[in-house]
Structure 1
């Protein structure tokens, strides 16, 4: 149960590689993918976890190996959180920044397409904020995938 079949450092290396690869994939997938899960997105996340599980453990089923990988992932998450809070360029690279998607009643269609935001999503947020399109001063796609509106 506690006897590991791989060297301890290999669990750490596997955790580091998988963590960074998934972080890159999630970052590339865009703000809206992370910000609002559709049933399809949830299935992808569940399948991703299953797909990388063997890569993390290297086929080892021991409790010790699982704890080493878990501690590595939590440690990496803590370290990345600390680094992004202290180094703005890294925060921008990892978490992204807000994007202006409309101003003064005009939506920027090209930006919406690039960020994979549907006009229907924008209009829904406008309705939720009791703001007509012509009353909108600025509308942003936030780094977390939410949309915020500033009225005139």
Structure 2
């Protein structure tokens, strides 16, 4: 088989695997990377490099693999724009946390969002009480958006900080 066709097919396989792996991991906070996330991304990129280019460590081999990844990404975005089914399969969706002052405890628990995080987001928006929140949404990028019925309150986005348990919390 042609070595460049081999690189194209390998890159396609790795790209498809990564899309499925990220989707299945349920990451809603990709924009909120911490140190371990950065290390994971670096290690994954190193691990899949050889899977894409094989023994070809030439500049042209690397450029072919990169070109394939850019092309696949462009094509996938175009297909997702045109196909709701594909978009629903691959993309995450916003989640309603509060509707008309009523907390969705099941969704908050499922997403591991604490009262403190929700209250912090409300304070960032100038809201004191849950009952004043018309709509609180966990956006696909990890932000919590708060909408109130009060036109004078600030309507901004709150970046959710992920909480990690310390070793003391495990005991």
Fold agreement, TM-score > 0.5: yes
- Match of 1:68, SS state, is helix
Q: How does 1:6-45 map to 2 (within 5 A)?
A: 7-45=3-41
Question: Is residue 137 from structure 1 mapped to residue 128 from structure 2 by the alignment?
Answer: no
Cα distance, 1:140 vs structure 2:
1.0
Q: How does 1:50-129 map to 2 (within 5 A)?
A: 50-129=46-125
| Superposed CA offset, 1:16-49 (max 9, x none) | 1111111111122224331321222222212211
Distance 1:126 1:61 in 2: 52
How many matched pairs? Answer: 148
What's the TM-score once normalised by structure 1's chain length?
0.86
**Higher relative contact order structure (alpha carbons within 8 Å, sequence separation ≥ 6):** 1
The 3-state SS of whatever aligns with 1:34 is coil
Cα 1:11–1:117 shift into 2, 3 Å: farther
Across the aligned residues of Structure 1 and Structure 2, the Cα RMSD in angstroms comes to: 2.0
Q: Which runs of 5+ in 2 are unaligned?
A: 150-171
Q: 1:31 to 1:106 in 2, by over 3 A?
A: farther
Deviations 1:106-152 (A, max 9, x none): 33232123234343332222121111222111111122222211113
The offset of 1:104, in angstroms, is 2.7
Please, which runs of 5 or more residues in structure 1 have no aligned partner?
1-5
CA spacing shift, 1:143–1:122, aligned 2, 3 Å: same
